[in-house]
Chains A and B, each alone.
Chain A
Amino acid sequence: MQKVLITGIAGGQGQLVTRKLLQRERGYQVLGIDRRPWETRPRGVGMTLTDVRKRKFEDIVRRERPDTIVHLAGVRHFKAHPAVRHEINVNGTGRVLDFAIAHGVRQVVVLSSSYVYGALPENPYYMDESFPLNSSRTYPEMRDLAEMDMLATAYLWRHPDITVTVLRPVSILGYHIHSTIGRYLKRDRVPTVLGFNPMVQFIHEDDVTEAIVLAVERGVRGAFNVVGPGAVPLHVAVREVGSHSLPLPEPIVRPTIAQLFRWGLYPFPPRAIDFAKYQCTLDGRRFRDATGFTPRYSLAETFASVRS
């Protein structure tokens, strides 16, 4: 039976992946690590309270010798110090990959995101996997995510004997997960930039889970965009999740957000507002062709999953 180790197993996405793997006919043995406990986990799921930065993590990989590691652990919010984010997201991913190579793991699946491409005015629609990861040009607070992605893709040529799969899903919405875009859209007043309304692609958490499980099942190699049912303008998404947008002129919205972010009253750095100005839309054909993945949830169902 294939043994899968999940880092960040107690998070929303980790729990969903665990349950989906256990439902599969092929049969998987699932174990995981997290800093938070998961007391209601299904029977047979082994779990250790630790962290990708700790030595205990390497002990587990050495002892358990999993066939596959699904790496979901990471810090996505901006309350953490940038050094902590870097340590966990970049160096943590490096450690996962190094241990995988040292202890005979066959495949590592890394969950990256579409944001690594960045929101730039000259972005074409529907970028494929060969596009440069430009996010740090306009959004330095996210540099660690782009670096994590590039570190993982570098292992594709540095260690051709191990299968590395980097998944870059578009904006994820769902009941169980706390995605950045979900927290943004569910604010009472969603700050947007007056005169801008970019197309944003969405995907349901369950479809992302399916994509991760498919990547494990098929053992696909390389970086893949994971795209959901389609794209709508940002303001339509705000309306559909039941919030109200607050369009402000750019010269006002940027300094206001910068100040509120500094005081800890607003959770996203000012540079993130570029994602409310320019589109960052992806082409998901490569993953579809490699695994036969098709999203099961429509846009309406995806919005309904977070509607308040």
Chain B
Amino acid sequence: MSTDERRQLARHERRRRVPEERPGPTVPARVDPLVARSQARPPATARTRALTLRSVPALPPPPAPQRSLRDVLRDAASELWEQFNPPLIREINDEVAERLRRVPTQINEYGFDPWGLNIDAVRRALVVTTLMYRYYFRVETFGVENVPDGPVFVISNHAGQIALDAAMIFTALVLEREPPRIVRGMGEFFLPTVPFVNLLMSRTGSVVGTPKNCIDLLRQQEAVIAFPEGIRGMNKLFSERYTLQRFGTGFMRLALAAKTPIVPVAVVGSEEQAPAIANLTQLGRVLGLPAFPITLTFPWLGPLGLLPLPAKYRIHIGKPMHFEGDPDDEDAVIGRKVQRVVDTIQGMLDEGVRQRPGIFF
């Protein structure tokens, strides 16, 4: 090695930070990050700062608290919100917050559970869905006591072009059940690739519907919801309303593997929120969408046409069904078990449709 190289290496070594023998890790006092942040920002107004300067001229001005533009905007937005927040929303917010306090979760010191759920985000989402639940769809939920404690697999029909049925079941289990439960959705595979949608999904507790995620959640005593019809059900035409499409068999294998009860759910009303008269799958494919439904309002009214009709929702929750057997049985065996779930939900749907006094009331 040349002297030049050696000198270069020595310089390199000197520049490196040399680890010292440490008696142990320096442990900073554990502080609630939310509290710490609010304390880090003293409310120094221009007025108080001017006063301090005049009375003690020798002192340098106190360092301005570091506030990024985003903080300023966020504070302004929350102040505006406080000003114009109607009492109804405040009431719902308090009610939802109170109920969420009783939901068992595994939140860490930063406010997130292992799957990215954040209670504040859930609360904000629930304020919106509660408004829809009570005043738009005027949801009636029957048999909410049929959802047991502990791991449970909720299986429902799926309809209405947008997954509002999932949101309404989620809301029902927080608002109506004692104690409230957060049900974790099993999302489509393309959802994590959509900006913001993936955030809404994971912050409210949903995950990509892989078998691994589902089994993990059930083993952690969570309630999981799945729509085995998937897009087939959601984007079916109005002429096929309340006839269940082909069910996947994956959910049954997972329920058998995790030894969890299945709670069948029939949502009546979701079919009428956006009656589709055609589905242009080819056009959807060009646009990178899973479907392109033509409804009474979409695409004629543009984005406004996505607004669902105010059909009255009735959610029927059936008694838990228990299945036993080998999760790796052949399709025919699993299929028979799936058929029992399909028949149960179809029966509840037919009964619900027959008994309802009307579509919109």
Interface presence of A300 (CB below 8 A): yes
Interface presence of B213 (CB below 8 A): yes
Please determine whether A240 and B25 come into contact, CB atoms closer than 8 angstroms: no
Please determine whether A12 and B13 come into contact, CB atoms closer than 8 angstroms: no
A125, A206, A249: most-surrounded residue (chain B CB, <10 A): A125
Instruction: Give the shortest distance, in Å, between B6 (CB) and chain A (any CB).
Output: 8
Which residues of A (127-144) have their CB < 8 Å from a CB of B? Answer: 127
A194 CA to B199 CA in the complex, in Å? 10
Q: Tell which of B9, B30, B109, B196 touches A36, judged by Cβ atoms closer than 8 Å.
A: B9
Please determine whether A125 and B19 come into contact, CB atoms closer than 8 angstroms: no
Q: Return the CB mask of B194-208 against A: 1 if under 8 Å, else 0.
A: 111111001000011
The stretch of A145-153, A215-223, A227-235 that contacts the partner chain: A227-235
The stretch of A77-85, A264-272, A291-299 that contacts the partner chain: A291-299
Inter-chain contacts of A36 with B (CB < 8 A): 9, 12-13, 16
Interface presence of A250 (CB below 8 A): yes
A281 CA to B194 CA in the complex, in Å? 20
A206 CA to B24 CA in the complex, in Å? 10
A49, A121, A206: most-surrounded residue (chain B CB, <10 A): A121
Inter-chain contacts of A197 with B (CB < 8 A): 199
Interface presence of B60 (CB below 8 A): no
Please determine whether A231 and B109 come into contact, CB atoms closer than 8 angstroms: no
Known contacts A19-B19, A176-B19, A196-B199: does B28 contact A304 (CB below 8 Å)? Answer: yes
Q: Tell which of B9, B115, B195 touches A193, judged by Cβ atoms closer than 8 Å.
A: B195
Instruction: Give the shortest distance, in Å, between B38 (CB) and chain A (any CB).
Output: 14
Inter-chain contacts of B189 with A (CB < 8 A): 121-122
Interface presence of A258 (CB below 8 A): no
Interface presence of B299 (CB below 8 A): no
Inter-chain contacts of A249 with B (CB < 8 A): 195
Please determine whether A124 and B195 come into contact, CB atoms closer than 8 angstroms: no
The stretch of A25-33, A37-45, A88-96, A99-107 that contacts the partner chain: A37-45
Please determine whether A296 and B207 come into contact, CB atoms closer than 8 angstroms: no
Interface presence of A184 (CB below 8 A): no
A256 CA to B213 CA in the complex, in Å? 34
Inter-chain contacts of A206 with B (CB < 8 A): 25
Known contacts A197-B199, A199-B116: does B109 contact A39 (CB below 8 Å)? Answer: no
Interface presence of A244 (CB below 8 A): yes
Instruction: Give the shortest distance, in Å, between B60 (CB) and chain A (any CB).
Output: 23
Inter-chain contacts of A123 with B (CB < 8 A): 208
Interface presence of B3 (CB below 8 A): no
Inter-chain contacts of B33 with A (CB < 8 A): 240, 300
Using CB atoms, name the residue of chain B closest to A244: B68
Instruction: Give the shortest distance, in Å, between B218 (CB) and chain A (any CB).
Output: 13
A297 CA to B30 CA in the complex, in Å? 12
Q: Return the CB mask of A195-207 against B: 1 if under 8 Å, else 0.
A: 1111100001010
Which residues of B (296-347) have their CB < 8 Å from a CB of A? Answer: none
Interface presence of A213 (CB below 8 A): no
Inter-chain contacts of A195 with B (CB < 8 A): 194-199
Please count how many residues in chain B sit with their CB below 8 Å of the partner chain's CB atoms. 42
Instruction: Give the shortest distance, in Å, between B114 (CB) and chain A (any CB).
Output: 6
A298 CA to B108 CA in the complex, in Å? 11
Which residues of A (225-277) have their CB < 8 Å from a CB of B? Answer: 230-233, 236, 240, 244, 249-250
Please determine whether B13 and A39 come into contact, CB atoms closer than 8 angstroms: yes
Using CB atoms, name the residue of chain A closest to B196: A195
Please determine whether B108 and A301 come into contact, CB atoms closer than 8 angstroms: no
Instruction: Give the shortest distance, in Å, between A300 (CB) and chain B (any CB).
Output: 6
Please determine whether A125 and B207 come into contact, CB atoms closer than 8 angstroms: yes
Instruction: Give the shortest distance, in Å, between B26 (CB) and chain A (any CB).
Output: 8
Inter-chain contacts of A127 with B (CB < 8 A): 212
Instruction: Give the shortest distance, in Å, between A6 (CB) and chain B (any CB).
Output: 14
**Chain B's interface: helix, strand, loop or mixed, by majority?**
loop
Known contacts A124-B207, A231-B112: does B30 contact A250 (CB below 8 Å)? Answer: no
Which residues of B (145-201) have their CB < 8 Å from a CB of A? Answer: 189-190, 192-199
Inter-chain contacts of B196 with A (CB < 8 A): 195
Which residues of A (150-204) have their CB < 8 Å from a CB of B? Answer: 175-176, 193-199, 204
A194 CA to B197 CA in the complex, in Å? 11
Please determine whether A298 and B30 come into contact, CB atoms closer than 8 angstroms: yes
Interface presence of A214 (CB below 8 A): no
Please determine whether B114 and A231 come into contact, CB atoms closer than 8 angstroms: yes
Q: Tell which of A122, A233, A296 touches B25, judged by Cβ atoms closer than 8 Å.
A: A296
A15 CA to B13 CA in the complex, in Å? 13
Interface presence of A60 (CB below 8 A): no
Interface presence of B277 (CB below 8 A): no
Inter-chain contacts of B31 with A (CB < 8 A): 300
Known contacts A122-B208, A194-B195, A250-B195: does B21 contact A49 (CB below 8 Å)? Answer: no
A44 CA to B196 CA in the complex, in Å? 56
Inter-chain contacts of A39 with B (CB < 8 A): 10, 13
Please determine whether A15 and B195 come into contact, CB atoms closer than 8 angstroms: no
Instruction: Give the shortest distance, in Å, between B315 (CB) and chain A (any CB).
Output: 28
Inter-chain contacts of A19 with B (CB < 8 A): 19, 21
Which residues of B (195-247) have their CB < 8 Å from a CB of A? Answer: 195-199, 202, 207-208, 210, 212-213, 216
A233 CA to B116 CA in the complex, in Å? 7
Inter-chain contacts of A40 with B (CB < 8 A): 18
Inter-chain contacts of B116 with A (CB < 8 A): 198-199, 231, 233, 279
Interface presence of B1 (CB below 8 A): yes
Please determine whether B28 and A300 come into contact, CB atoms closer than 8 angstroms: yes
B13, B16, B68, B108: most-surrounded residue (chain A CB, <10 A): B16
What are the 6 A-B residue pairs with the smallest beta carbon separation, nearest first?
A195-B195, A124-B212, A121-B192, A195-B196, A124-B210, A124-B213
Could you list 18 examples of A-B contacts with CB < 8 Å? A36-B9, A39-B10, A121-B189, A124-B207, A124-B208, A124-B210, A125-B207, A126-B216, A176-B17, A194-B195, A195-B198, A196-B195, A199-B112, A199-B114, A204-B25, A233-B116, A249-B195, A299-B110
Interface residue ranges, A against B (CB under 8 Å): 10, 12, 15-16, 19, 36-40, 49, 121-127, 175-176, 193-199, 204, 206, 230-233, 236, 240, 244, 249-250, 278-279, 296-301, 304
